[in-house]
Chain A
Amino acid sequence: MGTIALKNVQKRFGDVEVIPGVDLAINNGEFVVFVGPSGCGKSTLLRLIAGLEDTSGGEIVIDGIDVANVPPARRGLSMVFQSYALYPHMSVRNNIAFGLKMAGQPKEMIDQKVTKAAATLNLTDYLDRKPRALSGGQRQRVAIGRAIVREPKAFLFDEPLSNLDAALRVQMRLEIMQLHSSLGSTMIYVTHDQVEAMTMADRIVVLNKGRIEQVGTPLELYNRPDSLFVAGFIGSPRMNLLQGEPAQALGAQIVGIRPEHLTLSTSGGQWPGTILIAEHLGSDTYLHIDGDGLGRITARAPGEFPHGAGGKVWMTPDMNRVHRFDSQGKAMRA
């Protein structure tokens, strides 16, 4: 089992309130991603759950027991760090086995578990190497192996892929997702990369200034953002946010329309504009357009879109997918 409940969890560093009070319930086996800009408190929240930071108030309940005052090792959680945090003086085998040794498990059982974890993670050939002789991806696998063998109630990942190059990041992302489906364990994953959040999560928790902005499945957040913050954060490229006339026409302070929900035409449409830059990705073309009286707008066009910088285009929003926000930045829904 691995249910985790946060009840009014607070954290202050001196006079600075980092997390004013967070409530969250995570189900057993769920893959939850904490996402937000740097400094939003997502890593701090993870470290509070891990027990590496003391809470300033509130309860952290794991499987029905409040562990807010329990040391990290006895919370039954494993953590994978951004810097891998491998023990540099130990072989891969000993790195993976360290937690089991600390728990005083018998040697045969340790060997058995290490061998199994190494096989799962394709590390069998590297067991006698030191971490410095491994590539970034292999190091991250060792860190994951170290987490797996302890058979934790839940895994905590603190931006585990941000030190890897783009190609490896995609591969490791898939491996972590496979691991989640094969182990079925609860996983909490911290990232600032909204693509990771969208692709991996069962549920995403969007954090801003230590507060939860919105919790939901990736598509819920994409389709029904509760606030301007979530609207701007989820989705790539970012949602276009327009003020003034187009917003007033819909009775809102600000309206948002995603680049993929604009239909482009070279002959006519609702909003005229001039192409500033065209980014050709092959499958798609992203156009950065200077909309007449609207400011800068990003639009997605097909890969073979024939017009480049300086071209005149008209954009027509899909009115069913326009998001309306009030002056407080809250979503207005009919």
Chain B
Amino acid sequence: MARKQPMQRRVITTAAAWIVGLAIFFPILWTVITSFKTELEAFSTPPKFLFFDWTLENYAIVDERSDYFRFAMNSVILSVGSTIIALLFAIPAAWAMAFAPGKRTKDLLLWMLSTKMMPPVGALIPIYLIFRDADLLDSRAGLVAVLFLLNLPIVVWMLYTYFKEIPGEILEAARMDGATLWKELVFVLAPMAVPGIASTILLNVILAWNEAFWTLNLTTSDAAPLTVFIASYSSPEGLFWAKLSAASTMAIAPILILGWFAQRQLVRGLTFGAVK
């Protein structure tokens, strides 16, 4: 009996985990399935789950009607660009806070995070006006800057927690061994922090890729990423569920594939420091 109890509990927790996992995944699955239906079937009640005439026509129409690759390319530029710039600032910042903390380092970190607590709409009007006056509306450079600033606190925080895990004595040993600050960063800190830096990059590319509020409000066409591409299908012409689903599937596919291959890194990244 004593041994059965944990087994039972394991079955229950496994089942619960699957249920929660499926519930989270279901909207994505439903979007993908809907994208293969005709508009009529997409509306049908009761909804059809798997037994309908599978079609690719929505993809063909979406591809024909809008330039997917232009949007996709903008998404890549915005997400990767903003992440790289964020890293350039965040690595030295996190290094300083982790290995040479001052009296106010903790406050500074908290303050940085607090900027994420404000609803973005609160800053929309001033930023919109600045963008308008600086002629940055619908420009990639402007959006890269916004996304970079938006995610910088998270990048700094993540890197800071990774760097904190690296024993300071190892860096001191490098210093005793004659490494300059630069060599210490390149030959000792960076190789040890590679997993952390990699998962930071991944997470921030995903966050920037999915960012909709600023991209929708500050772009129209030239700099518009895939979020705008999706939104363009919830149009005044009426709702086209199947086409909207096809567009959404196309928009999330790259990041979903990236996430799938990197899931190990991501999980490690998000739980790093929590479990030793």
Interface residues of A (CB under 8 A from B): 14, 50, 52, 71-74, 77-79, 81-83, 85-89, 98-99, 102-103, 146, 150
Contact = CB atoms under 8 A, between A and B. Distances in A.
Contacts of A88: 170, 192
22 contacts: A52-B172, A72-B175, A73-B175, A73-B176, A73-B178, A73-B179, A78-B176, A79-B173, A81-B173, A85-B169, A85-B170, A87-B170, A87-B173, A87-B174, A87-B192, A88-B192, A89-B192, A99-B178, A102-B177, A102-B183, A146-B173, A150-B177
A102 B179 contact: yes
B167 interface: yes
B169 A83 contact: yes
A158 to B, nearest CB: 9
B174 A89 contact: no
A146 B177 CA distance: 8
A154 B192 CA distance: 29
User: Which residue among A14, A50, A85, A86 has the maximum number of chain B CB atoms within 10 Å of its CB?
Assistant: A85
Contacts of B179: 73, 98, 102
A77 B178 contact: no
Contacts of B192: 87-89
Closest 8 CB pairs of A and B: A73-B178, A99-B177, A102-B178, A85-B169, A85-B173, A89-B191, A81-B169, A85-B170
Given A81-B173, A83-B169, A99-B177, 7 more contacts: A52-B176, A74-B178, A79-B172, A79-B173, A85-B170, A99-B176, A102-B178
Nearest to B184: A102
A142 B173 CA distance: 13
A98 B174 CA distance: 8
A238 B167 CA distance: 35
A77 to B, nearest CB: 7
A74 B169 CA distance: 18
B172 A81 contact: yes
B101 to A, nearest CB: 13
User: Which residue among B173, B187, B192 has the maximum number of chain A CB atoms within 10 Å of its CB?
Assistant: B173
B207 interface: no
Contacts of A78: 176
User: Which residue among A50, A82, A86, A89 has the maximum number of chain B CB atoms within 10 Å of its CB?
Assistant: A89
A79 B176 contact: yes
Contacts of A99: 176-178
Contacts of B185: none
Nearest to A79: B176
B188 interface: yes
Contacts of B178: 73-74, 99, 102-103, 150
Contacts of A146: 173, 177
Interface in B160-204: 167, 169-170, 172-179, 183, 187-188, 191-192
Nearest to A147: B176
Nearest to A71: B175
A18 to B, nearest CB: 17
A78 B177 CA distance: 8
Given A87-B188, A89-B191, A89-B192, A52 B175 contact: yes
Contacts of A82: 169
A78 B192 CA distance: 23
Contacts of B170: 85-88
Contacts of A52: 172, 175-176
B80 to A, nearest CB: 26
A85 B167 contact: yes
B83 to A, nearest CB: 24
B164 to A, nearest CB: 15
Contacts of B176: 50, 52, 72-73, 77-79, 99
Nearest to A102: B178
A85 B172 contact: yes
A225 B239 CA distance: 92
Interface in B38-67: none
A153 to B, nearest CB: 13
A5 to B, nearest CB: 20
Contacts of A73: 175-179
Nearest to A77: B176
A66 B175 CA distance: 19
Nearest to B171: A85
A103 B192 CA distance: 22
Interface in B78-110: 103
Nearest to B183: A102
Contacts of A72: 172, 175-176
A98 B172 contact: no
